Amino acid sequence: MPPDGSARPGVASKRTGPLGAPPATTAQAQGTAQPQAAFQTRGALYKFRRFLIRTGPAYLFILPAVSAMLLVHYIPMAGGILVAFKDINLFTVSRWYDAPWVGFANFVQGLDPGGFLGGRFWRALWNVSFFGAVTITAGYVIGMAVALLLNREFPGRTLVRGIILLPYITPDSVAYSVWRFIFQARIGLVNMWLMKLGIIDEPVIWLVGSNAIYAVMLAAIWKGWPFAALVLQAGLQTIPRELYESAMIDGASRWQRFRYITLPMLAPVTRILILVSILWNYNAFNQFYVMLGKDPGPAADVPSTLILRETFNTFNFGVGSAMSVVLMGVMLVLTMVYLRALRAAERGQA
């Protein structure tokens, strides 16, 4: 290069970047970015294809179940929530989608403790809570006792296991119709035996008034304890026999073996059993409807029968849907509280 710094004739001047490398032009940068974008797109398509190949059959298999859940549960549930905010009655039900919006008026009418309907709803919620507490506790105790007996070896155990399921597999309409006959005031077997034993002097009216809920409780316990026995017996068969043998060698009594081995080992099964029983009992309907009719009275009314009357007898679909939504919310809250309490107990034991 000449001393004055000018370029030699016929030679183009080039500016060098760091380390002497020439800088990339805009066209070169764009040309480099396009292959990188195409490579990233092909990589994403490859990952998506590999994901479909791996998990596609699984989604295909669960598609019928998901479709059934949507059609049977979630879409009707969304429709019920929508109805709860509308004034849908006998005059507007034919065009319910055009019914006027009323906001939370249906909830106020159905939940106001000072009103007739709201008072009946909260009393029904208390009745079903009391009913569930008694039936779940009694059913669990009876089921545990039967499960412990059937877990032993004795002749005819398989036959006995099948026989104890008869109450559970009997249709609700048949079982509770028989119990309704048993609790009849004049010709029922309960009053007949109580009078023969000298416990009562005159027939007791069981299916009307404050005694009605106790009659339904007894029938529900008879109907439900075989399920608890079946579940608990399945759990007992998973407990290793070596634990009991070691405890016997250490001198543990039968009660100590039950308390420190059987109950802790059955804890996972017991949690699921109680949770399912809570949900079933808050939805209790068949036993009350078959034994007591559509209107069991304030002392034995439950949310399901109250919602049935308000929705399909008085045709107040908006209020009935509002009470259904509240009942669903109550069960959801109870489930969440129950599960959180179980997790806290498990963390405390860990």
Query: What residue ranges do the domains of the chain occupy?
Result: 80-111+316-350, 124-311
Q: Which pLDDT band, with edges at 50, 70 and 90, does 128 fall under?
A: very high
Q: Tell whether the model's pLDDT for residue 19 goes beyond 60.
A: no
Burial 171-184 (b: 16+ CB within 10 A, else e): eeeebbeebbebbb
Query: For residue 307, what are the contacts with CB-CB under 8 A and spacing of at least 6?
Result: 320, 323, 324, 327
Residue 315: strand, helix, or coil:
coil
Backbone dihedral angles phi then psi of residue 274, each to the nearest 5 degrees: -65, -40
Residue 31: strand, helix, or coil:
helix
Q: Which pLDDT band, with edges at 50, 70 and 90, does 33 fall under?
A: low
Closest CA to 164 of 154, 178, 177, 150: 150
Query: For residue 282, what are the contacts with CB-CB under 8 A and spacing of at least 6?
Result: 128, 129, 132, 303, 327, 330, 331, 334
Tokens for 169?
């597999």
Give the Cα separation of 17 and 40 in Å (integer). 29
Give the Cα separation of 268 and 248 in Å (integer). 24
Query: What's the length of the chain?
Result: 350
Q: What is the pTM of this model?
A: 0.78
Closest CA to 274 of 133, 161, 166: 133
What's the gap between Cα 261 and its chain centre?
A: 29
Find where tokens 């339904």 sit.
216
pLDDT at 15: 45
Q: Are 229 and 164 in contact (CB under 8 A)?
A: yes
**Higher-scoring residue by pLDDT: 259, 153:** 259
Q: Tell whether the model's pLDDT for residue 28 goes beyond 70.
A: no
Tokens for 134?
């008694």
β-sheet bridge partners, residue 101: 86
What's the gap between Cα 80 and its chain centre?
A: 18
Q: Tell whether the model's pLDDT for residue 144 goes beyond 90.
A: yes
Which homologous superfamily is 124-311 in?
MetI-like (1.10.3720.10)
Q: Which pLDDT band, with edges at 50, 70 and 90, does 37 fall under?
A: low
Q: Are 147 and 324 in contact (CB under 8 A)?
A: no
Which H or E run includes 164? Answer: none
Backbone dihedral angles phi then psi of residue 24, each to the nearest 5 degrees: -80, 140
Which H or E run includes 269? Answer: helix 267-282
Which H or E run includes 20? Answer: none
Question: By mean pLDDT, which of 48-62, 70-84, 113-127 is the weakest?
Answer: 48-62
Q: In this predicted model, what pLDDT tens digit does every residue of 193-204 receive, in sequence order?
A: 999 998 888 888
Q: Give CA separation, 242 vs 153, 235, 253, 261, 266, in Å.
A: 17, 16, 15, 11, 16
Q: Tell whether the model's pLDDT for residue 20 goes beyond 80.
A: no
**What does the longest C-alpha to C-alpha distance in the chain come to?**
135
Phi-psi region of 87 (alpha: psi -120 to 50; beta: other; left: phi over 0): beta
Phi-psi region of 14 (alpha: psi -120 to 50; beta: other; left: phi over 0): beta
Q: In this predicted model, what pLDDT tens digit does every residue of 63-80 receive, in sequence order?
A: 899 999 999 989 989 988
Q: Which pLDDT band, with edges at 50, 70 and 90, does 13 fall under?
A: very low
